Amino acid sequence: MIDQEVNSRIVGAAPAGAQDRESAAAAVREMFTSIAPRYDLLNHVLSFNIDRLWWWRTARRFDAILKRPNARVLDLCCGTGDMAFALGRRAASGKAQILGADFSHAMLQRAAAKGRGTTLRWIEADALRLPFPDGHFHLVTSAFGFRNLADYDAGLREIARVLAPGGECGILDFGEPGGLIGQCYRVYFKKILPAVGTVISGVQGPYKYLPASVERFPAPEEMLGRMRQAGFTQASWTPYTFGISGLYGGVKSA
């Protein structure tokens, strides 16, 4: 009953001025295109380089899949590719077929430049309308991008569609820690981070949007309910760094 209740309403990213799913997606694409030149620098500076640990922990979680011969892996909303690169470093002898997908051309250009000399591939695609057949991938990941989808339930259903039965998904995204750490974090996240991000990037909107998008994102229990409703079993939430971020995991029903 709870799972049905949390899925009775459409929830997704809602940038300022967005009126519907299409305008929300367009606004998100424009924001990420505007900060693409400084995106990597800002990620590392604003997270104090802890983001590298988060990617590594997420990739390690899926070692069993990555080390299979000819595993097919999709990193969704890949941005400049850091999650895909972390997955590639864990893969056995580079045999896994790892593909990064994003709808921002500017982000993909940077991912491709960083990925020269690797076997990683990149495709420009909308996460809500993926150009892949049903059951194609053994693993789908998304790092700090799923939160920006205009419809979370539609995104989960699309991930489930392209996963093979028994395939796994891993969604790494921000959380909201509790207690004293949470209070300190919220001051940093809502006041300091937007100011520093704006100065370094030269663009104001995206770093005002970031705290609002985290507040809007479903709490872990609700997100897990939505995952189960989309067809995932063994849905789990593993907090990282006091819950500042965390990994949602799930297995596609057979």
Lowest mean pLDDT among 26-40, 117-131, 227-241: 26-40
**The tokens 């009775």 sit on which residue?**
8
Mean pLDDT of 39-55: 87
For residue 13, give the CATH number of its domain: 3.40.50.150
Contact 165, 252 (CB under 8 A): yes
pTM: 0.91
Q: Looking at residue 21, what is its pLDDT?
A: 82
- pLDDT tens, position by position, 148-203: 999 999 999 999 999 999 999 999 999 989 899 999 998 998 899 888 888 888 88
Sequence-distant (6+) residues with CB within 8 A of 91 are 66, 67, 71, 73, 98
Q: How many domains does the chain have?
A: 1
- pLDDT tens, position by position, 75-125: 999 999 999 999 999 997 768 999 999 999 999 999 999 999 999 999 999
Q: How confident is the model at residue 5 (pLDDT cuts 50, 70, 90)?
A: very low
The SS3 assignment for 136 reads: coil
- Give the separation between CA 11 and CA 21, rounded to whole angstroms: 10
Provide the domain limits for residue 59: 2-252
